[in-house]
Amino acid sequence: MKWTLKILRWGLMIFLGAEIILHIYNPFIRKNTADAYVLRPNSKQTWKDLPPGGDITLSTNSLGFRGSEPDDKQSKRIICMGGSTTECPDLTDGQDWPALLLTALQKKDKNIWLNNAGVNGLKSAQYLKFFKTNILPLKPRAIILMSGLDDISFPSELEKTREDVSIFEKAYNFLEIPKTIAVFLHGNRIQLPQDAIYHRYLDLQTSITLEMSDSAILQRIAREQPLVELYKNNLQQLSDACKANNIKLILVSQAILFGDEKDVISNIDLGTLKTGDINGKAKSLLLKQYNKTSFDIAEKNNLKFVNVSARLPKDATFFYDGYHFTNDGAEFVSEIIYDEVKDLVTK
């Protein structure tokens, strides 16, 4: 009995000690809070047989970015910045749109060096710190920023305020050890709730639907306005910082599959698909608020604006989960951006 109590006591002490350490710093889980983000330099992760079929390898260099190491001979440096739609964690090395963009640009100018500095979940509140700490020391001539989607108040954040959260969910959300174990078991692709859609292959034929009244959608958009205004201020600060350092800032709108229309291949209504706590129509209208803000900032500051959202068709073959690009989608996006920036970044 004494040995049992001793083992339990030591086990509890080790558990509490590990929890305290992981709460202070957990290198296994990205915590993209308003002022913090985690990069993983010199890492390599591989996932096997992911739908719709294939393996994925995601590698980073010493900067924690996707791409080659900085080369002094390649004087024209470009950084692609943003969240997971820039990082493209669902695509293997070389198939993310920044890598494809680099291939196209180097055919025009061999002196171009480009890295993918996308960080899953990076919000506009983190842009300035990320710019000063990780981008500015590289002295790039241009930054291509795809942004807006990560600033929408996602269901994962709304979940924290639910009143029906069970004690087990609360414990899991608070404790670090269970989440860390889940990362080791599933990689970065932790099992999501049944109605979640992010980083899970989207099969339109079996997708859950959600009807929303126009008044409910308008209320949801109204709730978002303070965050849209915050996004505007954060984007302006980044624009000012780039101007002060003689860096060209190129803003890119975010494209998603969802919208008040039908998929061009399957003819399925994309507006009624459930995505988090709202439907596709509501999500599309929310994102339009952020894309419009990016356009306004570009107009105000005489910046280049690339409207990917307007040019990428509502075609499920271009999107892995409704948000992140497939190989075909990334190729299309890289072509759109290349057409708009090829002369601007190679001068």
The pLDDT tens digits of the residues spanning 236-283 come to 999 999 999 999 999 999 999 999 999 988 999 999 999 988 999 999
Indicate the pTM of the whole model.
Answer: 0.82
Contacts 24+ apart (CB under 8 A), 124-127: 124/150, 124/151, 124/230, 124/231, 124/234, 124/235, 124/238, 125/34, 125/35, 125/230, 125/234, 126/32, 126/34, 126/35, 126/36, 126/37, 127/81, 127/234, 127/235, 127/237, 127/238
Q: What tokens appear for 195 in the block?
A: 């109605």
- Burial state string for 109-136 with b = 16 or more CB within 10 A and e = fewer than 16: eeebbbbbbbbbbbbbbbbeebbeebbb
> In angstroms, rounded to a whole number, what is the distance separating the alpha carbons of residues 307 and 298?
11
pLDDT tens by residue, 313-333: 999 999 999 999 999 999 999
For residue 13, name the pLDDT band (cuts at 50, 70, 90). confident
Contacts of 67 (CB under 8 A, 6+ apart): 61, 98, 99, 102, 114, 115, 116
pLDDT tens by residue, 143-186: 999 999 999 985 444 444 444 556 766 676 677 777 777 656 55
Q: Is 305 exposed, middle or buried (0-12, 13-18, 19+ CB in 10 A)?
A: middle
Residue type, 112: I
Dihedral angle sign, alpha carbons of residues 174, 31, 254, 102: negative
Tokens 């205004």 label which residue?
Answer: 229
> How confident is the prediction for the chain on average, in pLDDT?
86
Does the pLDDT of residue 35 top 50, yes or no?
A: yes
Does the pLDDT of residue 105 top 80, yes or no?
A: yes
Greatest alpha-carbon pair distance for the chain in Å reads 77
pLDDT (0 to 100) of residue 39: 87
pLDDT (0 to 100) of residue 4: 78
Q: What tokens appear for 203 in the block?
A: 């099969």
> In angstroms, rounded to a whole number, what is the distance separating the alpha carbons of residues 57 and 48?
9
CATH number for the domain formed by residue range(s) 31-154+198-346:
3.40.50.1110
Reference 303, options 105, 74, 147; nearest CA is 147
Reference 130, options 142, 138, 120, 122; nearest CA is 122
Does the pLDDT of residue 61 top 50, yes or no?
A: yes
CB atoms within 10 A of CB 268: 15
pLDDT: is 173 or 88 the higher one? Answer: 88
